[in-house]
Amino acid sequence: MEKINTCIGLILLISLGLFQEGCYSGRRIEENKKKVKILSESERNEYQYALTEATKQKIFGNFKEAIALYEKCIKVNELSDVAHYQIGGIKMIMGEYEDAKIHTKKAIEIGERNFWYMMQLAQLYNIESQIDSLRLTYEKIVQYWPERNEVKIDLARLLVEEGEYEKAMKILIGIESEKGISEPVSLLKEQIFVKTGRKDQAIEELKKLIELMPEEIRYMGILAELYNSMGKNREAEELYEKIFSIDPENPLALLSYSEFKREQGKKDEQFQILEKVYKTKTITLDQKLKILIDYLTDDREFENQKNEIKLLIDILLEDYPDNYKVRTAYADYLVKADKYEEALEEYEYVLNVEKGNYFIWEQTLYIENLLGNTENIYRKSGEALKYFPEKPILYLFRGNSAMWLEKNEEAVEILEKGLKRVKNNNPLKLQFYKYLAEACNSAGDNKKSDEYFELALDMDKNNLLLLNNYSYYLSIRDEKLDIAEKMSRKTIVAEPENSTYLDTYAWIMFKRGNYKKASEYIEKSIASGGGEEPEILEHYGDILEKLGKKKEAIKYWKLSLEKGNKGEEIVEKIRNAQENE
């Protein structure tokens, strides 16, 4: 749930109640008397000196020193509510919320009912989204200090967030009857009317604000957007015309108007307005980028308005040529447009400027992977790990690229480090198991390879690639051939025309001495496209030899060489077969 914005800023915590323990704001509740300890003159002097010095240290931002001095105050006078209050405020700034609450509650317990103490407690509950406690605290503050309308409004906002609209409305009507029409009250009432489907009453609430402040175009903009949501396009258009008659260049109104045109499907007009907005310096760069990101993350919008989006980016590139956020947005655009090489150049520029952005590293690595740049992946993932050693994805990139570069032992070490960093993410853990099974196999550690294959299959028992590779590696080693056959059988049942799976099954049959069945499945593999694979052709030659068909075996071995087989063993097979013909 979104936190409630309180009216009391942190500055109040260091500017109030600093020098006199009895200081408080608001109505005194006579029945709740402050607890006081009688101090000797020397104790009073020591206490006052420590309190004054603590306050100085707090103002200068020396929080540890300030806390030590406030604690000294408490040592001299354990009933110092102001010292507890100030420690609570410092602890809140430092993010130590539990300690902050303990000291703030102690200040409230010791002191007279003090508005600022109660507000500090409310602020702590708000920070930690402890909604029930926050509401109770607001209700107490309103009870003790009924003139504090800003707290009543915060309470009403909280009630709206909780869906208690009528209770919130009762508070707002009470404030309005006492103080008259005001922006925070009217806008919150309008929000309640919209949420409860009373849009006509929401319109009337906004009209009251506009009548009160006719030159405040922001209210007109809100009303125009409300009309738009209700399909009252004519009324909305009239309001926008009125806004632009007052301030034709108002960027926020122009943004609202562009969204209005978008809702109407008038894309050309929408982007004409946006172009005007992007050229103004009144709208911040972050606001412009937010609009851009909305288009970049909407696939349909991107495809329909690719050129217009590029025009907006060009305006930003002209105004902010070296801004890494703009260059990142441009890189994102290029990725969406399938211009990966250009996108990579932009991301690399960003990384030279801003190395602390994890998203950019990850996006760069994905593109390098897409382009098949293994050495770049290896190098960049290694560099990224210097900045983000806790990110498991980086270990995955580094380990996989190390494997492709035949750095198999290093790949195992890296991947196992990354695996330790995977928390509550089973799909990612499975990916690590797969890579580790392959890396351990390539490194010659068959025992660990099998363990990782088993772990992976425990998580995804029908993964065809895992079943195929594991069964093939077992067949190469002449181990657990019955288990290998069962796993391989699953793959060819699932994909009966997959040449790789058919080849694996054929090879297992070969290893089990069933050459006839091996021949049957290797022929199916070749018919399914395996005739272009040198390893499959070599397997066919091996099977033919066992069937006594040496001439045909030599033919397929030679064909395997032509397709790129560089193994020394196949040359020896051909030589031996030719000598024994």
| Average pLDDT score over residue span 516-538 | 94
**pLDDT at 26 exceeding the cut of 70:** no
Instruction: Tell me how far apart the alpha carbons of residues 363 and 513 are, in angstroms, rounded to a whole number.
Output: 49
259 found inside a domain = no
At residue 22 the predicted structure's pLDDT band, cuts being 50, 70 and 90, is very low
**pLDDT at 324 exceeding the cut of 90:** yes
Q: The tokens 């990139």 sit on which residue?
A: 397
Range of the domain at 120: 1-130
State the DSSP code for 280: -
275 found inside a domain = no
pLDDT in tens, 223-248: 999 998 898 989 988 988 888 888 88
* CATH code (residue 549): 1.25.40.10
> Hey, how many other C-beta atoms are within 10 angstroms of the C-beta on 104?
28
203 found inside a domain = no
Q: Please give the model's pTM, rounded to 2 decimal places.
A: 0.65
pLDDT value at residue 14: 34
Q: The tokens 């330790």 sit on which residue?
A: 420
**Higher pLDDT residue, 239 or 389?**
389
21 found inside a domain = yes
15 found inside a domain = yes
272 found inside a domain = no
pLDDT in tens, 307-317: 889 999 999 99
pLDDT value at residue 581: 65
Residue 258: which residues within 8 A CB-CB, separation 6 or more? 270, 271, 273, 274, 277
**Higher pLDDT residue, 2 or 555?**
555
320 found inside a domain = no
**pLDDT at 29 exceeding the cut of 70:** no
Percentage above 70 pLDDT, the chain: 94
Task: Identify whether the C-beta of residue 70 lies closer than 8 Å to the C-beta of residue 47.
Answer: no
- Tell me the CA distances in angstroms from 388 to 99, 100, 243, 359, one per residue in order: 31, 32, 49, 11
Please give the tally of structural domains in the chain. Answer: 2
**pLDDT at 33 exceeding the cut of 70:** no
Question: Which of 130, 157, 192 is the endpoint of a domain?
Answer: 130
Task: Identify whether the C-beta of residue 347 lies closer than 8 Å to the C-beta of residue 331.
Answer: yes
391 found inside a domain = no
**pLDDT at 30 exceeding the cut of 70:** no
> Hey, how many other C-beta atoms are within 10 angstroms of the C-beta on 1?
8
pLDDT value at residue 34: 65
pLDDT in tens, 271-315: 888 888 888 887 889 988 988 888 888 888 788 888 889 999 999
Residue 132: which residues within 8 A CB-CB, separation 6 or more? none
Instruction: Tell me how far apart the alpha carbons of residues 327 and 84 are, in angstroms, rounded to a whole number.
Output: 49
Residue 475: which residues within 8 A CB-CB, separation 6 or more? 481, 484, 504, 507, 508, 511
Question: Which of 130, 154, 172 is the endpoint of a domain?
Answer: 130
pLDDT in tens, 410-459: 999 999 999 999 999 999 999 999 999 999 999 999 999 999 999 999 99
Q: Where are the beta strands (DSSP E) in 343-433?
A: none
Classify each residue of 344-361 as buried b or exposed e, where b means 16 or more C-beta atoms within 10 Å of its C-beta: bebbebbbeeeeebeebb
pLDDT value at residue 401: 97
Instruction: Tell me how far apart the alpha carbons of residues 487 and 493 are, in angstroms, rounded to a whole number.
Output: 10
Question: Which of 130, 150, 173 is the endpoint of a domain?
Answer: 130
pLDDT value at residue 253: 85
